[in-house]
Amino acid sequence: MGKLIYYIDKGNGNFEPFVEYSSEHVGADEFYARQLCTYFIYRGTQYERTSNEMENGHNVIVVKELGRNLPGEHERSYHGEGIHLEFRSPNEKENYRLISRMPCNTHFDVMHYLLKDIVDIPMVGQMLVTSNEIDEDRGAYVLYVTDLEGA
């Protein structure tokens, strides 16, 4: 698997590596789950994936910086508590309302949700996925979802 390296697109063809994960510390399932995420939260800053590449046996995710990450309703850290997936409203006016939380056994379980346009949230029902992210600061994956009727 090699490494997973995040690069920031600084513009004018300038790309700088800024976060790196080794396959000795991160499993293949997490490598793949991270590559499926549209957004990446790291040290209080939000990044958007612009490219997902292979380079010399390594996985490369190119991102652009969007600015400070805005915290959502009832955010909490999951570090040291395993893998967690949150479902939230994509609406900033609702403070990214928390709809549901779910522990997952593996990153493959998370990928099952990351790959879908419509997800079935336990105790809630089916909802449309608008985007997703990995929040490194909190140790969580987040799916932003909305009602199917509004789609």
d(CA 65, CA 87): 23
Statement to judge: residues 54 and 88 lie in one domain: no
At which of 45, 68, 91 does a domain end?
68
**16-20: average pLDDT:** 94
The parent domain of residue 36 ranges over 3-68
Residue 61 located in a structural domain: yes
**Percent over 70 (pLDDT), the chain:** 98
Residue 73 located in a structural domain: no
Domains in the chain, number = 2
pLDDT tens per residue across span 85-107: 999 999 988 999 999 999 999 99
Query: What is the reported pLDDT for 150?
Result: 59
Query: What is the reported pLDDT for 49?
Result: 97
Q: pLDDT-based confidence at 129, cuts 50/70/90? A: very high
Based on its alpha-carbon atoms, the radius of gyration of the chain, rounded to whole angstroms, reads 15
**49-68: average pLDDT:** 94
Statement to judge: residues 19 and 64 lie in one domain: yes
75 to each of 88, 95, 127, 141, how far by Cα in Å? 10, 10, 21, 12
**1-19: average pLDDT:** 91
Q: Is the pLDDT of residue 151 over 70?
A: no
Query: What is the reported pLDDT for 75?
Result: 93
Query: What is the reported pLDDT for 25?
Result: 84
Helix then strand count (H, E) for the chain reads 2, 10
Statement to judge: residues 38 and 88 lie in one domain: no
Query: What is the reported pLDDT for 50?
Result: 97
At which of 68, 100, 116 does a domain end?
68
142 CB-contact burial (10 Å; exposed 0-12 / middle 13-18 / buried 19+): buried
Query: What is the reported pLDDT for 145?
Result: 97
